[in-house]
Amino acid sequence: MSSVFRHSDGLGLKISRVWTLAHATFTQLIRMKILFFLLFFCVLVVGSGFAFSVINPEQQLGLLKTVSLGTLQIFSLVIGIVSTALLLPKDMEDRTLYTILSKPVPRFEYLVGKLLGVLLLIGGGLIIMDLVLSVVIYARQGMVMQETLRALEFNGQASPETMERLKGIVARQGLTWEMHWAVLAIFLKAAVVTTLALVLACIASSTLFTIVVAVCAVIIGHGEHLLREFFLHPYLSGQLERFAALAFAMIFPDLSQFDIVDGVVAGESVPLSAVLDMVGLATLYVGGHLTIAHLLFVEKEL
């Protein structure tokens, strides 16, 4: 064995330990029958993709994206919260945690490995679902185009202007890069919520408490701008209001910053700068939550 793996302070050994923990966590979650959800998603997407043949092309493709991307959001958030809430208590119950930390494995590496394992599961599931959705949308937009053209020709409305308008609708509502950006935004939101659930898991002794508080934080995070408008803006102003809003956002992440799904469904473009902003914001939240989780976990009595 090379020296990089013999020394406990070597970077290679640290990466190796984190990856081993992440792989073990990923395998543990796979055994929890999570793949059945992926199968359900595939059936849902295929079913919704070839239903509703009576509505117009824009509504049909938009509804397919709405149902599919909405399901992706539910999948990622539920898996992130529930998996993180279950992992720490289960490791303690099975005595696995004590075995790992006696290696010795630093507690920070343990947390990073567990978090990475959950994010690998979420990311892998989203990639599979994105591929399935892309195939269905690509196939469906061709069928929608042909069906609408036949209907226009039958009604004598197949003018050049109508044809161009139809092509524009299909191009805007069909398979676009914006849809993949929406899936990335869903993953980033799930990563933020997962690390928040990790913080709660380091505080709470009850899995149910972690799940309930995390779900409440998700609800608050989606309506944070409304809470600021009603509870901060009427009573605070200027720098004080911005400071209070920042403090509130540190406790409850502003998840609305990752909500681009509605715009994508409406056919709006997503600039690269907006994608980079979401990545940067998610990185800040994940890094901050992971640091807090580590500080709490170090002091936790095991």
Lowest mean pLDDT among 64-68, 81-85, 128-132: 64-68
Q: Which residue has the higher pLDDT, 300 or 113?
A: 113
Q: Average pLDDT of 185-213?
A: 90
- The predicted structure's pLDDT at residue 34: 61
Q: Which residue has the higher pLDDT, 86 or 104?
A: 86
> Confidence class of residue 13 from pLDDT cuts 50, 70 and 90?
very low
Lowest mean pLDDT among 139-143, 192-196, 198-202, 233-237: 233-237
**Cβ-Cβ contacts under 8 Å for 191 (sequence gap 6 or more):** 80, 119, 122, 282, 286
Q: Average pLDDT of 269-295?
A: 90
Whether the per-residue pLDDT at 215 is higher than 80: the answer is yes
> Confidence class of residue 115 from pLDDT cuts 50, 70 and 90?
very high
pLDDT in tens, 154-164: 666 666 666 66
Whether the per-residue pLDDT at 189 is higher than 70: the answer is yes
- The predicted structure's pLDDT at residue 118: 92
Q: Which residue has the higher pLDDT, 225 or 253?
A: 253
Lowest mean pLDDT among 144-153, 234-243, 262-271, 290-299: 234-243
> Confidence class of residue 17 from pLDDT cuts 50, 70 and 90?
confident
Give the integer Cα–Cα distance in Å for 64 and 176: 14
- The predicted structure's pLDDT at residue 11: 41
- The predicted structure's pLDDT at residue 7: 39
Q: How far is CA 59 from CA 47, 139, 147, 265, 283, in A?
A: 16, 16, 14, 10, 35
Among the residues of the chain, which ranges form H helices? 11-30, 35-49, 57-93, 96-101, 107-154, 160-173, 177-203, 207-222, 224-227, 238-251, 261-265, 272-299
Give the integer Cα–Cα distance in Å for 137 and 177: 12
Is the Cβ–Cβ distance between 25 and 118 less than 8 Å? Answer: yes
- The predicted structure's pLDDT at residue 55: 56
Residue ranges making up the domain that contains 165: 3-299
The number of domains in the chain is 1
SS3 105: coil
Q: Average pLDDT of 203-214?
A: 85
pLDDT in tens, 230-280: 655 555 555 665 665 566 666 778 888 898 888 888 778 888 898 999 999
Q: Mean of the per-residue pLDDT values for the chain?
A: 77
> Confidence class of residue 8 from pLDDT cuts 50, 70 and 90?
very low
Whether the per-residue pLDDT at 198 is higher than 60: the answer is yes
Whether the per-residue pLDDT at 183 is higher than 70: the answer is yes
Give the integer Cα–Cα distance in Å for 50 and 136: 9
Whether the per-residue pLDDT at 282 is higher than 90: the answer is yes
Backbone angles phi, psi at 295, to 5 degrees: -60, -40
Q: Which residue has the higher pLDDT, 251 or 3?
A: 251
pLDDT in tens, 96-110: 776 777 777 788 888
Q: Average pLDDT of 104-121?
A: 88
